[in-house]
Amino acid sequence: MGSSSWKYFVPYQKDIEAVLQNLRREVFTRNLKTGAKEEKIARLKEELAASDVPDPYGTLTVYREVMKAKISQFESLHEPTSIDEEIDQLITNGAS
């Protein structure tokens, strides 16, 4: 949980820094349009619901509390308006 693999292919360009910045901007814009925050919250709520099983020894209690805290944390975030703001949020709140 919390990591992913990313692969992107772009046409060859001499200026690799410009390629990276353009790709970052493109991915950021795509995430704004697709509602990445809402998708993340929905996924966390699904994980929380899946943990709603009998727990006679209380082993899932901590997990459920952590999931509830993560959901609250993501719900309180405002949508970033720039790549730099999104990076700051990820650094501050964790990239999970």
Rounded distance between C-alpha atoms, residue 22 and residue 40, angstroms: 24
Rounded distance between C-alpha atoms, residue 28 and residue 10, angstroms: 16
Task: List pLDDT tens digits, range 70-80.
Answer: 899 888 877 77
Q: Is residue 49 one of the residues assigned to a domain? A: yes
Q: Is residue 11 one of the residues assigned to a domain? A: no
Q: Is residue 52 one of the residues assigned to a domain? A: yes
* 57-69: average pLDDT: 88
Q: Is residue 10 one of the residues assigned to a domain? A: no
Report the pLDDT value the prediction gives residue 4, as an integer from 0 to 100.
64
Report the pLDDT value the prediction gives residue 24, as an integer from 0 to 100.
83
Q: Is residue 71 one of the residues assigned to a domain? A: yes
Q: Is residue 8 one of the residues assigned to a domain? A: no
Query: Which domain does 77 fall in, by range?
Result: 16-93
Q: Is residue 76 one of the residues assigned to a domain? A: yes
Verdict on whether the full-model pTM lies above 0.95:
no
Q: How many domains does the chain have?
A: 1
Q: Is residue 3 one of the residues assigned to a domain? A: no
Report the pLDDT value the prediction gives residue 2, as an integer from 0 to 100.
55
* 16-26: average pLDDT: 88
Q: Tokens in use for 73?
A: 């944390």
